[in-house]
A = this chain, B = another copy of it.
């Protein structure tokens, strides 16, 4: 984990992205913005064009949003309620007779496309997994062949740091992004042999 900055030759939508927790609780996301995000998710690729994704959308102030907030793990309850929208991302895993082994992979792609579109609109996305998925699946009457997988928080980052913001959150958000070096995960010839 030596490199801490995204390289400058990445497309700016990718290179400048980060998953901030510092959502502005005064911001609202418009219908047009939400539609653009979901259209981005829609047009992502999937195995055999199976499109094994669905989304339950809640905006701050909705009853659905409150229900989702009630299911959050304590760590996420510190910041996620300030997001303008909390989206439940589900993938269709199928059943024993017809299992889709690429459902989670394709949902990940779909949310990634949503995230890039959000970045293009000046919005911030932070995904999270810490919530009561079984409880939320019951709340939302999710069929057995679908799996509640992640939460997707969407909103705007605070333009200036508010005085009442949890200092621990600020600190975590100001930390440099870290990733494994390329030679730790890009190989040639066989697994583990760094690509030249």
Contact = CB atoms under 8 A, between A and B. Distances in A.
A61 interface: no
Interface residues of A, number: 72
Nearest to A185: B54
Contact of A11 (B54, B120, B195): B120
Given A111-B109, A140-B191, A40 B53 contact: no
A182 interface: yes
Interface in A10-44: 10-11, 13-15, 17, 19, 32, 35-36, 38-40, 42-44
Given A36-B9, A186-B54, A186-B55, A150 B105 contact: yes
Interface in A50-65: 51, 53-58, 62-64
A64 B17 CA distance: 33
B190 A141 contact: yes
Contact of A141 (B53, B112, B191): B191
Which are the 10 A-B pairs with shortest beta-carbon distances?
Answer: A108-B108, A112-B112, A105-B108, A54-B185, A109-B112, A11-B120, A108-B109, A104-B104, A104-B105, A142-B191
